[in-house]
């Protein structure tokens, strides 16, 4: 149900969706009669870090979308919280998502693709200019209204200007649409949205994603490979799109389009058959909203050098105030012309009449002053005429705005009237349906009455048939009793014969069982004698020394051991083939098979240096932390990689380092603090995190769980890094831990993956 703060303003019409995090309602604003969607979630428990992060994403969605108002972005109208719940009131988009249409294998024409991508780019360009980077552009977040208009949704993981709500080094986004810098854990800007939009354009053109597979496969392809050009996969795709896709999916952010608007222009140019213009050198022209508050305004490029030279040589003239305004009269030119006429008249008089001829010079001076005054009056009248024209233009613009407002108001009134008519039609349909239901109930009651009468007649007939059948059964039973008496006599004779045979068989069986017991007693005595001999031999062995030697001196291994006077236990990971060598060593030492318990897992991979580094901090056998893979090993392609971890009995920071045969290390769990004795499941999908999906290359990988009572690393590690870089940083961290008295315990586990079990 809605929070109490919303009940007076909004009326719930239905539920659009529900999940573990909350519910989305279809509602109507009672005051302005506007349909809205209200997303309501429960406030998190502060001790649950995942729930706190999910609530932060929810609030960030409201902050990101709330600062945006654009036709191609789902609008947010209100946000609020109380002691137990939080909510967002947003625009209701009645159509489905672009993903829903792609999942139905629906294909789009090139003009439709250009229109859809143009509206996506328009919304992104608007949000980028206001300091919001979406970071999760994908078909599932692109909503389409019934008339096909694009609405960008879900700004839950958007990056806001000057925001510290996103942790650096944490995987954010959907793998198939993530840019290389996102996989590397680097800071991202608007060019990550350009990459994701390029992936979506590729999918619209070809029906396929450029990078397919599980998490590790998509990451490898996005970082190191190039997808096939779209024109080679779809005969309807113009070849001009190959260059657009190549630039949008450039590995280096500096090589991509500098803005969503530039990307949209390139798409339209490719659709018209023109290849996109090459990018200007010099990187991005400023990212408004990401690094500073000011918007960078650049001059329009001049057509050529000759035009530039001509512009520099020509004196500057003021531009008109606005497009569509009338230019005023050239007042300066009129005044200058009048002055020139006066000067020309004076010069002509001087040369024609000569000195001393004609009127008095004082009269000429008065005439000149009168002419200049007339010129100034003409200039003032021209200026007044220009100002009057400007005022008239402003009046026309105001009238146009008022007319547009009246038309919008009329449209709103018409829409409300249409909604009222629709509501009346729905109510009439409901009344008709109620009447039809009443008639159906009456007809059903009549049918039920007829069925009851028919059932009564059938019951009477069945009772009469039952009485007749009982009489026949009685006669049959009497005949059967006579026949049974004869059979019983014959049976008694047969039983006597069988009893005699069974007694003889019993005597034979007793003899055989006695012989078997005698043989078992002899074998038991022999086994007891052998066990006594083995126990005497084991007592002479130092099992603790043998276990410690094998655990510490077996190369390329990480083995925990324990031992008593009579038994020993070895558990851990060893290089493939070394388990047989350990068993031979135990046999050579004279350790009985039942005295040694081995729980060793073999691997293939370049992990020896890592195991040597981890050996000094390996946890004792049987003690926490302990780790096991969820599911049946080996894991097959498409399954999720998950671990159950039992934490030690003291509060500890948890790290999960995943060593791959490629020589790289994935920091799957960078650092998370858990309480003592906590039981944790790692890799379980939640929110936008879809889990770690198993994919090629297959084989054996090494996962190492590290628990420490203080943080090991000063800075967050990259999501994926080379094994050499990780080992260098880990060695320094372990040295610092020993120097500061920090408690560190590790536990390894081998993960085996196959294409199919």
Q: Average pLDDT for residues 702-725, to the nearest whole number?
A: 93
Q: Average pLDDT for residues 631-649, to the nearest whole number?
A: 94
For the question of residue 578 being annotated catalytic, the response is: no
Beta bridge partners of 598: 570
Write the pLDDT tens digit of every residue in 338-354: 333 333 333 333 333 34
* SS3 call for 290: coil
The verdict on whether residue 327 carries a ligand-binding annotation is no
Name the CATH topology of 604-754.
Immunoglobulin-like (2.60.40)
Q: Which two structure tokens, joined as six digits, stand for 387?
A: 């100002």
Cβ(187)–Cβ(205) under 8 Å? no
Look at 26-40, 50-64, 217-231 and tell me which has the smallest mean pLDDT.
50-64
Tell whether the model's pLDDT for residue 276 goes beyond 60: no
Cβ(193)–Cβ(675) under 8 Å? no
Of these ranges, 254-263, 296-305, 503-512, 662-671, the one predicted with the greatest mean pLDDT is 254-263
Position 183 scores a pLDDT of 92
Name the CATH topology of 1-92.
Phosphorylase Kinase; domain 1 (3.30.200)
Write the pLDDT tens digit of every residue in 82-138: 988 999 999 999 888 999 999 999 999 999 999 999 999 999 999 999 989 998 999
Tell whether the model's pLDDT for residue 656 goes beyond 70: yes
Position 535 scores a pLDDT of 61
SS (H, E, C) 325-377: CCCCCCHHHHHHHHHHHHHHHHHHHHHHHCCCCCCCHHHHHHHHHHHHHHHHH
Position 385 scores a pLDDT of 84
Position 657 scores a pLDDT of 95
Tell whether the model's pLDDT for residue 745 goes beyond 90: yes
Position 49 scores a pLDDT of 79
In angstroms, the first-to-last Cα distance of the chain is: 47
Of 208 and 19, more confident: 208
Strands 159-160 and 132-133, bridge-based pairing: antiparallel
Position 408 scores a pLDDT of 77
Position 632 scores a pLDDT of 93
Position 391 scores a pLDDT of 83
Look at 87-96, 128-137, 298-307, 735-744 and tell me which has the smallest mean pLDDT.
298-307
**pLDDT classification of 532: cutoffs 50, 70, 90:** low
Cβ(578)–Cβ(608) under 8 Å? no
Determine the Cα–Cα distance for residues 98 and 358; give it in Å rounded to an integer: 93
Mean pLDDT of the chain: 82
Nearest to residue 26, comparing CAs of 5, 46, 40, 43? 40
Tell whether the model's pLDDT for residue 173 goes beyond 90: no
Q: Average pLDDT for residues 56-78, to the nearest whole number?
A: 83
Determine the Cα–Cα distance for residues 263 and 614; give it in Å rounded to an integer: 49
Q: In CATH, what number does 96-159+174-274 get?
A: 1.10.510.10
Write the pLDDT tens digit of every residue in 441-456: 887 877 888 888 888 8
Instruction: Given the residues 136, 193, 695, 701, select the one marked as catalytic.
Output: 136
User: What are the C-alpha distances in Å from 151 to residues 78, 88, 137, 464, 719?
Assistant: 18, 17, 12, 75, 32
């Amino acid at each position: 149900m809605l929070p109490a703060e919303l009940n007076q303003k909004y009326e719930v019409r239905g539920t659009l969706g529900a999940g573990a995090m909350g519910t989305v309602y279809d509602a109507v604003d009672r005051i302005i009669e506007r349909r809205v969607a209200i997303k309501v979630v429960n406030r998190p428990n502060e001790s649950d870090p995942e729930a706190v992060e999910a609530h932060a994403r929810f609030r960030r969605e409201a902050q990101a979308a709330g600062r945006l108002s654009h036709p191609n972005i789902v609008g947010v109208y209100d946000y609020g919280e109380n002691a137990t719940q939080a909510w967002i009131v947003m625009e209701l988009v009645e159509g489905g998502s672009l993903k829903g249409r792609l999942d139905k294998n629906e294909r789009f024409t090139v003009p439709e693709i250009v229109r859809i991508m143009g509206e996506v780019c328009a919304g992104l360009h608007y949000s980028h200019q206001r300091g919001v980077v979406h970071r999760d552009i994908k078909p599932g977040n692109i909503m389409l209204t019934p008339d096909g208009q694009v609405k960008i949704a879900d700004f839950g993981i958007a990056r806001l200007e000057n925001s510290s709500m996103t942790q650096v080094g944490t995987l954010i986004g959907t793998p198939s649409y993530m840019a290389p810098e996102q996989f590397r854990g680097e800071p991202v800007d608007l060019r990550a949205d350009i990459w994701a939009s390029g992936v979506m354009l590729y999918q619209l053109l070809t029906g396929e994603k450029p990078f397919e597979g599980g998490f590790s496969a998509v990451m490898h392809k996005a970082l190191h490979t190039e997808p096939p050009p779209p024109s080679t996969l779809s005969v309807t795709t113009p070849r001009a799109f190959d260059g657009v896709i190549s630039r949008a999916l450039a590995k280096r952010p500096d090589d991509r389009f500098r803005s969503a608007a530039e990307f949209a222009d390139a798409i339209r140019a490719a659709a018209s058959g023109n290849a996109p213009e090459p990018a200007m050198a010099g990187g991005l022209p400023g990212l408004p909203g990401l690094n500073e508050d000011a918007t960078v305004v650049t001059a329009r490029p001049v057509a050529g050098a000759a035009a530039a030279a001509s512009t520099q040589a020509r004196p500057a003239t003021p531009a008109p105030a606005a497009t569509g305004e009338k230019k005023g009269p050239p007042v300066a030119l009129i005044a200058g012309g009048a002055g020139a006429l006066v000067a020309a008249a004076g010069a002509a008089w001087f040369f024609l009449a000569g000195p001393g001829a004609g009127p008095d010079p004082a009269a000429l001076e008065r005439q000149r002053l009168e002419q200049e005054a007339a010129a100034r009056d003409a200039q003032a009248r021209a200026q007044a005429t220009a100002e009057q024209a400007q005022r008239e233009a402003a009046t026309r613009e105001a009238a146009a705005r008022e007319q547009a407002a009246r038309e919008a108001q009329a449209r709103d009134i018409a829409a409300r009237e249409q909604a009222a008519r629709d509501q009346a039609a729905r109510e009439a349909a409901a009344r008709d349906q109620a009447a039809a239901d009443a008639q159906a109930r009456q007809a059903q009651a009549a049918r039920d009455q007829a069925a009851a009468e028919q059932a009564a007649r059938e019951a009477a007939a069945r009772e009469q048939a039952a009485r007749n059948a009982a009489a026949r059964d009685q006669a049959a039973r009497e005949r059967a009793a006579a026949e049974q008496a004869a059979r019983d006599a014959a049976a008694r004779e047969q039983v006597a014969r069988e009893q005699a045979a069974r007694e003889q068989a019993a005597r034979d069986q007793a003899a055989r069982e006695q012989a078997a017991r005698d043989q078992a007693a002899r074998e038991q005595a022999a086994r007891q004698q052998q066990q006594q001999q083995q126990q005497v031999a084991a007592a002479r062995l130092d099992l603790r020394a043998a276990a410690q030697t094998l655990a510490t001196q077996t190369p390329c291994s990480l083995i925990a051991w324990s031992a008593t006077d009579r038994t020993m236990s070895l558990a851990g990971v060893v290089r493939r083939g070394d388990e047989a060598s350990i068993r031979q060593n135990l046999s050579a030492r004279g350790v009985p098979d039942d005295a040694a318990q081995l729980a060793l897992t073999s691997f293939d991979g370049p992990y020896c240096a890592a195991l040597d580094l981890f050996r000094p901090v390996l946890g004792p056998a049987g003690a926490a932390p302990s780790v096991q893979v969820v599911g049946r090993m080996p894991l097959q392609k498409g399954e999720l990689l998950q671990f159950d971890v039992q934490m030690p009995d003291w509060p500890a920071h948890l790290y999960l380092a995943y060593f791959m045969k490629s020589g790289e290390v994935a920091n799957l769990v960078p650092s998370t603090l858990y309480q003592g004795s906590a039981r944790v499941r790692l890799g379980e999908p939640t929110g936008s995190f879809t889990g770690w999906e198993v994919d090629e290359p297959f084989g054996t990988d090494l996962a190492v769980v590290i628990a420490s009572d203080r943080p090991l690393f000063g800075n967050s590690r990259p999501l994926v890094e080379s094994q050499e870089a990780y080992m260098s940083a880990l060695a320094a961290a372990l040295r610092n831990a020993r120097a500061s008295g920090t408690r560190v315990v590790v536990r390894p586990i081998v993960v085996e993956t196959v294409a199919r079990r």
